[in-house]
Amino acid sequence: MKTILIVIDVLSGISLIVCVLMLSPKGEGLGGIGGQAKLFNTQRDLESNLQRVTTFFAIIFFVVAGILGVCY
């Protein structure tokens, strides 16, 4: 049982890292000063789905890490 939880935790952690790196930054930084900011976001559905997947993997990661921390 412990091995299965560790494997789930590692896979969800790697998936969480990949999902966070795929998210686009919310701020425009210095690009907004020179007029380089995006006016229209055409990928709203993709971003919202990716954010849901990221939240799912984060919940799985923290729940399994909590179970491992308490029980083992």
pTM, two decimal places: 0.75
Q: What does the pLDDT read at residue 25?
A: 77
- Span 4-32, pLDDT tens digits: 999 999 999 999 999 999 987 776 655 55
Locate the domains of the chain by residue range.
46-72
Whose tokens are 């380089």? That residue is 36
- Token pair, residue 27, equals 């701020």
pLDDT of 49 > 70? The answer is yes
Q: What does the pLDDT read at residue 44?
A: 76
Q: What does the pLDDT read at residue 24?
A: 77
